[in-house]
Amino acid sequence: MRSNLLILAAAALLAACASSGPTGNDVLTGSIGPGTARLVIYRVSDMGIALQPEYVVDGKPVASAQPNGFVVCDLSPGRHEVVVDNFPISFTPFSTGSERMAVNLRAGGTTYLSAAPQMGIYTPGKITLTEVAESKGRADTATMHRLDGACAKA
């Protein structure tokens, strides 16, 4: 009985992963409109699969941090704030990224942010952001699926 419950819980968590929709190769190869900049936030790791906080861009929730998925935001060029709405008391002393960052988007350019789980000691972990080179971001998202969200209009 207990093992059946664990299997059902694992299946429910895996169903929350991004597994449908267009891939990065389908979505991220087109040109960006004039006077527009593109922001792509993605998560590669399945570690901490239950951690799926919201990505927030300029104060607006845009999508959840689902493993193997990305969100695309076509925005005006300039400075934008990106936040991961983590559990408020998460404590991860060995974190390698930031939960909040400002990005300066260039007109006609694409900025990639990689989201990675950082596991906590006594509390749930958190998802952190790191800006990566466009070549790495494009390669990482090539086979990932786009997440439905408030920003997924690319």
pLDDT in tens, 92-130: 555 555 688 999 999 999 999 999 888 766 556 788 899
> Has residue 97 been placed in a domain?
yes
Residue (of 112, 120, 127) closest to 46 by Cα position? 127
> Has residue 154 been placed in a domain?
no
> Has residue 151 been placed in a domain?
no
Residue (of 46, 45, 42) closest to 69 by Cα position? 42
Domain range enclosing 84: 2-146
pLDDT tens, residue by residue, 83-93: 998 766 555 55
Rounded to the nearest integer, the mean pLDDT of the chain is 78
